[in-house]
Amino acid sequence: MSIKQISVFLENKPGMLCAMTDVLARHKVDMRAFTLAETSDFGIARIIVDDSQRTSAVLKEEGYVHSVSDVLCVVIPDEPGGLNRVLQVLAAAQVNVEYMYVFLGREKSAYMIFKVADNTAASAALSAQGIQTVEQEGIDKL
């Protein structure tokens, strides 16, 4: 029903993002999705990785403040209105979307990460409409 997202808090200064991705590269972390949000003082790098437990341990060891949260990963149909259909289902189920971002899988399928208030309700509503979600175990296969 959900996958793990790691949110890393970074100072909004030159080189900080590069330093964090260098740590991940040195530890051979496979990032599957990535987004960056910022304010004037700090940024939040949100990442989906192949092994969230190991990545969290690496980040902790390297002194990075981060959190791990559950998000929903939805297969977006490759057709006009595909995303709109998913959003209609969530709206009808009264599930609020807090934020979202997209990534492409190895086979060029689109996957949308949704941060919602209730992963269980969202997943059930999507499943009832035949919309596929991805579990944590399936992330490395995308």
Each residue's pLDDT tens digit, 22-32: 999 999 999 99
User: What tokens were used for 64?
Assistant: 């990075």
pLDDT tens digit string along 38-86? Answer: 877 889 999 999 899 999 999 999 999 999 999 999 999 778 899 999 9
At position 109, the amino acid (one-letter code) is S
At position 40, the amino acid (one-letter code) is S
Residues 66 and 6 sit within 8 Å (Cβ to Cβ): yes
pLDDT at 104 over 90: no
Contacts of 56 (CB under 8 A, 6+ apart): 6, 66, 68
Domains delineated in the chain: 3-69 (3.30.2130.10), 70-134 (3.30.2130.10)
User: What tokens were used for 77?
Assistant: 């149909």
Measure CA 36 to chain center: 11
Write down the pTM of the prediction: 0.90
Mean pLDDT of the residues in the chain: 92
